Amino acid sequence: MTISEATVRPEEPTRTGARERAERPARPAGAARPARPSSKPNGQWKVDGTEPLNANEAWKQQDGGLAVRERIEQTYAAGGFASIDPTDLHGRFRWWGLYTQRKPGIDGGKTATLEPHELEDEYFMLRVRIDGGQLTTEQLRTIGGISTEFARDTADLTDRQNVQLHWVRVEDVPEIWRRLESVGLSTTEACGDVPRVILGSPVAGIAADELIDPTPQIEEIQRKYIGDPEFANLPRKFKSAITGHPSQDVVHEINDVAFVAVEHPELGIGYDLWVGGGLSTNAHLAVRTGTFVEPARVAEVWEGVVSIFRDYGYRRLRNRARLKYLVADWGAERFREVLETEYLGYALPDGPPAPKPLTQGDHVGVHAQNDGRAYIGVTPFVGRISGSTLTALADLLERHDSKRLRTTPHQKLVLLDIPADEVEQVIAELDELGLQARPSLFRRGTIACTGIEFCKLAIVETKQTATDAVIALEERLAGIDLPHPISLHVNGCPNSCARIQTADIGLKGQLLPDGDGGQTPGFQVHLGGGLASADREEAGTGRTVRGLKVTATGLADYVERVVRRFLDEHDAAVGETFAEWAHRADEEALQ
């Protein structure tokens, strides 16, 4: 069913906070001052000074987000939810991976009208930070145990390689931290106006076709800068990605800074530097700076980029406080100039772009490691898993002499070090846990955000809606040979946590008229988006078709219909993809 009108909730600025303002480097003599995009001050520290221009900036300077940990451990855990200071609750807690979750029973029509305290429950989502997605079975078992004991057996794999738990009480947070940190995990700066988790190739150090292992670079950045007050008060969140794999498996085009492995004709293997990517309600794809970054310089270049964001980022308006807006105003050339002259003190060499990927970057299936063993990429339904399943998975791996696994930017898991002669047995055991190594192309290509079940910004339910649609499509399209995976991304609001603009079929949650004077959950449809992949030369966002809205109950019907039209109408002789067809097709064919 398609519907022509919808109620759309405008983006709500994130209410976050950070550490006291740090000292900032002085401008070198003679260096050009970047132009201000408007006559009004934008809150750029190096241009307008550091006087706070909104409430978020004021409390971040008064007392930063990192400082709240002591109050959580010493005061709030003992006093319970009612004892938490409101600014800490809705701001500083995020610096330690804590968001209040949505109170059950509040429908999507109330999301835009109620205040945060009216929407929130006295429980938290807790985000476990997993830089590079690298986990041991001991760490996995620890997360699983925390989930079953403190989080009602919840666990979601995110599309940023983290694990999110729900139903967490503030009284239990100190013990959860103690257990996580005892095995080398943390929630430090998992949320907030800070450098978030660093995405890394899920097959770093083990893939037979890897160009370079980025793990040393990820670890250096994490060790030097995460939790450092110098970078704990950014204008807003800052997302990083580093990959050494030719599949370009870290969605680099939608990160604030990304390093993509490339071979320079004279300098050897290093990284191509990208900046300024991000989605939300106003998508900007990252741009190449044209520079080549040697592995030994990655950390200092990362520091330079995040410092530019700290010093020149727009702080006055929260909805323009991402690096993508600064990059859009400056352009790649000016950004590179400021990076080199003001922050690095040297010029970076020019570098070539990385070639188009030749393989899929989700790593699903069985693949050869560089040591003769195998790694297996598996998919749960849209990242939804449980603590007990994580514990069972740790047991399974150890039975087969493996103690390592990885999370991915696609809500998947990659299991490492599987003996070649045990692969089929492992796959059979994984199937029993609901983790498929040979999923249908729809199950493989579908991701979903948290949705209205737990998220205060959401308008519609996502996880179960996506799961039900995939199950229906697997039945209805069984035996049909798709030429490539078709990605289906389901988001509960306009903010695009599930990357709707870069999916073959992206769905933005809305409330639609039900024909009887009421409203029903549904989606606006985006078609033909995607990132660089084996099926696509370069990234691009999807198109929207005027009036094209789909109800949640009609989702499977719509996807089946549009996929069948693609199969009937696309030019198979030239290998036309779904995205290519969707951009050239008549609007009638996309309804």
Question: Would you state the pLDDT for residue 502?
Answer: 97
Residue 382 CA neighbour count, 13 Å, CB half:
25
* Cα 348 off chain centre by: 29
Nearest to 468 by CA among 551, 556, 386, 550: 556
E-state strands within 265-418:
268-275, 287-293, 365-368, 374-378, 384-386, 404-407, 413-418
Q: How confident is the model at residue 379 (pLDDT cuts 50, 70, 90)?
A: very high
- Give one word for 189, left, alpha or beta, with left for phi > 0 and alpha for psi -120 to 50: left
Band the pLDDT of 18: cuts 50, 70, 90.
very low
CB 244 within 8 A of CB 213: yes
Homologous superfamily of the 365-437 domain (CATH)? Sulfite Reductase Hemoprotein;Domain 2 (3.90.480.10)
Q: Which CATH number fits domain 204-360: 1.10.1740.10, 3.40.50.450, 3.30.413.10, 2.60.120.10?
A: 3.30.413.10
pLDDT at 436 over 80: yes
Confidence of residue 14 (pLDDT cuts 50, 70, 90): very low
CB 373 within 8 A of CB 420: yes
Distance CA 274, CA 255 (A): 8
Phi and psi, residue 554, nearest 5°: -100, 10
Q: β-strand 505-513 against 488-491: which pairing, if any?
A: parallel
Q: Which residues pair with 126 in a beta bridge?
A: 98, 165
CB 453 within 8 A of CB 102: yes
What's 444-584's CATH class?
alpha beta
Q: What is the pLDDT of residue 545?
A: 87
Provide, rounded to the nearest whole percent, the portion of the chain with pLDDT above 90: 91
List, for residues 539-557, the tens digit of each pLDDT value. 999 999 888 999 999 999 9
Q: Report the pLDDT averaged over residues 360-367.
A: 97
The full set of domain ranges for the chain reads 204-360, 365-437, 444-584
Mean pLDDT of the chain: 93
Say yes or no: do domains 365-437 and 444-584 share a fold.
no
What is the distance in angstroms between the CA of the first residue and the CA of the last residue of the chain?
9
φ, ψ of residue 278 in degrees (nearest 5): 175, 155
Residue 373 pLDDT > 90: yes
For residue 116, the model assigns a pLDDT of 85
| Mean pLDDT of all residues in 373-392 | 98
pLDDT at 127: 98
pLDDT value at position 5? 27
Residue 56 has pLDDT above 50, yes or no: yes
Q: Where are the beta strands (DSSP E) in 103-237?
A: 120-128, 134-136, 154-157, 163-168, 195-200
Asked whether the predicted pLDDT for residue 21 surpasses 70, the reply is no
**CA–CA separation, 450 vs 467, rounded Å?**
13
Q: What is the pTM of this model?
A: 0.93
The whole-number average pLDDT for the span 530-540 is 93
Among 562, 554, 504, smallest CA distance to 528 is for: 504
